[in-house]
């Protein structure tokens, strides 16, 4: 999917499938979401440009649309935000983290 740049199509498809609960149990539903959400980070290296940060922000905003968000690799997304020196973007994921991990993110951002 990434190789052929079908990510926009994947995004549209997943957003449509969010309204179809019978598809949420499909074995590829969660991996497809994880693939989409990790896509802007896969080749990203600091320093990150404004356009790259915007792409990350937009894709992370999709997390809130995923009906099975608690099954996603949210910790991995947080790690990627920190890796590319965008820990403030990890704040978008705080509602899906344990209290301990959320506190660490807040602490990391405030430093």
pLDDT in tens, the chain (111 residues): 555 579 999 999 999 999 999 999 999 999 999 999 999 999 999 999 999 999 999 999 999 999 999 999 999 999 999 999 999 999 999 999 999 999 999 998 998
The tokens describing 34, both together, are 């994880």
Q: What is the pLDDT of residue 5?
A: 75
Q: Which residues of 8-26 are buried (b: 16+ CB within 10 A; e: fewer)?
A: eebbeebeebbeeeeeeee
Q: DSSP code of 31?
A: H
What is the model's pLDDT at position 111?
Answer: 80
């Amino acid at each position: 999917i990434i190789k052929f740049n079908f990510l926009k199509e994947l995004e549209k498809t997943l957003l449509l499938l969010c309204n179809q609960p019978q598809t949420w149990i499909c074995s590829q539903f969660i991996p497809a979401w994880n693939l989409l959400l990790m896509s802007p980070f896969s080749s990203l290296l600091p320093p990150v440009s404004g356009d790259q940060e915007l792409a990350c922000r937009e894709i992370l905003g999709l997390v809130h649309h995923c009906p099975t968000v608690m099954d996603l690799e949210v910790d991995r997304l947080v790690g990627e935000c920190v890796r590319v020196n965008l820990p403030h973007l990890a704040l978008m994921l705080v509602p899906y983290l344990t209290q301990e991990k959320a506190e660490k993110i807040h602490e990391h951002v405030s430093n």
